[in-house]
Amino acid sequence: MKLEHEKRIVMTLDAGGTNFVFSAIRGNIEIVPPATFPSHAQNLDECLATIIEGFTAIKKQLPAHAVAISFAFPGPADYPAGIIGDLGNLPAFRGGIALGPMLQNVFNMPVFINNDGDLFAYGEAIAGFLPHVNGLLEKAHSPKRFHNLFGVTLGTGFGGGIVHNGELFIGDNSGAGEIWLMRNKVDPSMNAEEGASIRAVQRVYAERSGIAVEDAPSPKEIFEIGIGAAKGNTSAALDAYRRLGEVVGDALSNALTLIDGLAVIGGGLSGAHALFLPSLVSEMNGKYHLPGGKSFPRLEVSVYNLEEDGERDIFLTGAKKEIAVPGNGGNVQYDPLRRIGVGISKLGTSEAVAIGAYAFALNALDRK
């Protein structure tokens, strides 16, 4: 889907537990100054009134009528129906709130709500990481192209989303891509998010440093300690991000065993990728061991760190060759290197979510 020259306008919302930020997009560009309102997370009436007020404020600034409202909102939810379930960081939403139908009645336009992990992956598939990688393959004269993408966000939580052949895969219960619920490799009694989030990095640093978790530096400070740009426990910082990479790599391996596509990483922790991508990719290229002592690769494909020049070159070059068609039928080009790549968001997480929301709305409207 080419959105750069699209003239239709979609109103959007970035919903957080503290603030709601409203805006509007046309042709992948934010066309009005964002409007920020407190979320009133504890009071449903005030929260819903704020959402209406925010979209009303944006609507007044538009140069033309919007065709839809589309945004990310925390789950659990029945996203296709626009019904929000019991939220942790927005306690007012208890028992099921028909947010989408309410907004549709108020603004008389279609309303689309999705998970932020889903929309992040969709934005990167439409205008970010996926076309970027395929463009690099084309420049390298490789016959290889990718059509599937798994996107993950690393921050307060561990979110995920699946895109297959240009379509966002939501699942029958709006629950596809929930990678945070996979087992934590390091502690299988926990879910993966407990090893793949801000609190996980701080907890490991605190444990290795012999300090209380509440006294741990921020993940950014831990990264700076790890690269020698700030004072602190360097080995603890390196171990905190190595452990993050190990847990995320294990979870991604399980996901990509079923999906077989590229993986892109966003979220607040993605800026520290220099410290966790090597262990992440190493985990994905690990082995299973058989009782007799033999081993075999965990995945059927080789995994490459696309943020590292040498690995990216191997990924792009592949093993292309020409093979003969039996029966004197000439030659065909063949690349036997079965591979996937892992890299960092090309758009930035917020922009990817916004573009994902925009593209999802227009795609849904065009289908109708």
Would you state the torsion angle of the CA atoms of residues 56, 57, 58, 60, taken in this order, to the nearest 10 degrees? Answer: 80
| Terminal CA-CA length for the chain | 16
Say which DSSP state 325 is in.
P
pLDDT digits (tens, 9 = 90+) for 291-340: 999 999 999 999 999 999 999 999 999 998 888 999 887 898 888 999 99
- Tell me the torsion sign for CA atoms 245, 251, 257, 258: negative
For residues 270 and 344, the answer to whether their CB atoms sit within 8 Å is yes
Residues 31 and 173 in one domain: no
For the question of whether the overall pTM of this predicted structure is more than 0.85, the answer is yes
Query: What CATH code is carried by the domain that includes residue 194?
Result: 3.30.420.40
Q: Which residues pair with 357 in a beta bridge?
A: none
Average pLDDT over residues 273-293: 96
pLDDT digits (tens, 9 = 90+) for 201-225: 999 999 999 999 999 999 999 999 9
Residues 97 and 214 in one domain: no
Residues 158 and 269 in one domain: yes
Q: Among residues 69, 92, 114, which one ends one of the domains?
A: 114
Q: Which residues pair with 19 in a beta bridge?
A: 38
For residues 263 and 152, the answer to whether their CB atoms sit within 8 Å is yes
Pairing of strands 158-164, 148-154: antiparallel
pLDDT digits (tens, 9 = 90+) for 63-75: 999 999 999 988 7
Decide if 187 is inside a domain: yes
- What is the domain count for the chain? 2
Average pLDDT over residues 237-254: 98
